[in-house]
């Protein structure tokens, strides 16, 4: 954790952060990137994630190819004469649901909701946690005690319970789900960032920067922030699957994404009554959800290893 992000060569993240790019020397992110590229698990998980993104983006195209829309009901071919879902076939690859809709195309469209909610709420949470944690840790004093108490407060709320109460009052919707998840995740990020900022601001190079006449804003953005990039990246990749599960849980309880918009959570909620007659109705949305969260967790794990190789070295010596 002592490595400082001064010299970084050809990493996109470093460039966009506005850091100088010297000729030689590989910084922390460049080293991590090269380690990540050699990690087979990371490659596999990364491929799955990219594939999911591609599927989500291409959902309307896929709908055109199959000729089925996500909320189109096939009363003739999609239901048995007893009105029950039909199993996987050439027409319905993943079978149909209780309303005779194509489970395959609904799973495809569900990827859009999961990724949208997962990624957007994580970005919001990380941005808020970063700003508030940095302000608390670096500025200290009254700012810190107020913000730290506020984070403690958010963290001692019974989260899911409160989210449920909130959603039931305001009425479920996708933007609300994103806000709720972000609101209940930022404090954990904020606390970690605050802790890091507290220790970084005591370093000598910060003192040097101040002696050179740098202001608070400059020190926070140019001297402290780059040191937070690595832990925040790790946290972000691990927060996305948590947010995805949170959305699925809200939708499962009928408080997230409302039907007929397909989400893996509300599909699984519908399937609860049909799992005894239509296994495909549970299996495919369930698998999609599991595969997605697993891919993000695997990827996050590899990123963590790549950024903190010390733990793996430690493990390897015994």
Kindly state the smallest distance separating residue 180's Cβ from another protein, in Å. Answer: 12
Contact positions with another protein (CB under 8 A) in 281-300 = 282, 286, 289-290, 293-294, 296-298
268 binds another protein (CB under 8 A): yes
Rounded Cα distance between 252 and 263, Å, is 9
Tokens encoding 142? 């009254």
Between helices 141-155 and 174-200, what is the axis angle to 10°?
Answer: 140
Q: Which is nearer to another protein, 3 or 291 (CB)?
A: 291
Which residues make beta-bridge pairs with 79? 85
3-state secondary structure 255-287: CCCCCCCCCHHHHHHHHCCCCCCCHHHHHHHHH
Rounded Cα distance between 134 and 71, Å, is 45
Q: Which is nearer to another protein, 5 or 42 (CB)?
A: 42
Q: Tell me the site size for another protein, rule CB under 8 A.
A: 44
Kindly state the smallest distance separating residue 304's Cβ from another protein, in Å. Answer: 11
Of 37, 83, 145, 157, the residue at the interface with another protein (CB under 8 A) is: 157
Contact positions with another protein (CB under 8 A) in 95-154 = 149, 152-153
Of 169, 204, 215, 217, the residue at the interface with another protein (CB under 8 A) is: 169
Q: Which is nearer to another protein, 81 or 156 (CB)?
A: 156
Of 143, 160, 179, 258, the residue at the interface with another protein (CB under 8 A) is: 160
Q: Which is nearer to another protein, 5 or 163 (CB)?
A: 163
Q: Which is nearer to another protein, 219 or 295 (CB)?
A: 295
Of 47, 77, 80, 168, the residue at the interface with another protein (CB under 8 A) is: 168
37 binds another protein (CB under 8 A): no
Of 12, 18, 141, 158, the residue at the interface with another protein (CB under 8 A) is: 158
Kindly state the smallest distance separating residue 22's Cβ from another protein, in Å. Answer: 34
- Interface pattern 228-267 for another protein (x via CB under 8 A): -------------x---x--xx--xx-x------------
Kindly state the smallest distance separating residue 24's Cβ from another protein, in Å. Answer: 33
What residues make contact with another protein under the rule CB under 8 A? Answer: 149, 152-153, 156-158, 160-162, 164-166, 168-170, 241, 245, 248-249, 252-253, 255, 268, 271-272, 275-276, 279, 282, 286, 289-290, 293-294, 296-298, 301, 311, 314-318
């Amino acid at each position: 954790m002592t490595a400082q992000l001064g010299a970084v060569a050809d990493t996109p993240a470093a460039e966009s952060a506005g850091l100088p790019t010297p000729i030689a020397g590989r910084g922390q992110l460049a080293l991590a990137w090269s380690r990540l590229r050699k990690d087979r698990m990371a490659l596999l998980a990364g491929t799955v994630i990219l594939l999911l993104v591609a599927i989500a983006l291409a959902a309307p195209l896929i709908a055109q190819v199959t000729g089925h829309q996500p909320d189109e009901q096939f009363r003739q071919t999609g239901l048995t004469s007893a009105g029950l879902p039909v199993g996987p076939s050439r027409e319905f690859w993943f079978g149909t649901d209780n309303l005779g809709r194509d489970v395959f195309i609904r799973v495809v469209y569900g990827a859009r909701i999961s990724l949208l909610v997962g990624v957007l709420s994580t970005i919001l949470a990380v941005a808020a946690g970063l700003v508030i944690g940095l302000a608390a840790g670096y500025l200290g004093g009254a700012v810190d005690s107020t913000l730290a108490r506020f984070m403690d407060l958010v963290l001692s709320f019974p989260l899911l319970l409160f989210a449920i109460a909130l959603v039931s009052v305001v009425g479920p919707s996708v933007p609300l789900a994103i806000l709720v998840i972000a609101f209940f995740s930022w404090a954990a990020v904020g606390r970690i960032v605050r802790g890091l900022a507290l220790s970084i601001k005591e370093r000598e190079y910060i003192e040097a920067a101040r002696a050179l006449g740098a202001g608070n804003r400059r020190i926070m953005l140019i001297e402290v922030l780059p040191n937070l990039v690595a832990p925040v990246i790790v946290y972000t990749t691990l927060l996305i699957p948590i947010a995805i599960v949170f959305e699925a849980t809200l939708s499962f309880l009928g408080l997230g994404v409302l039907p007929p918009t397909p989400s893996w959570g509300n599909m699984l909620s519908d399937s609860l009554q049909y799992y005894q007659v239509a296994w495909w109705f549970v299996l495919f949305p369930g698998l999609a959800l599991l595969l997605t969260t697993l891919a993000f967790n695997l990827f996050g794990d590899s990123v963590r290893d790549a950024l903190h190789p010390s733990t793996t070295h430690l493990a390897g010596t015994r």
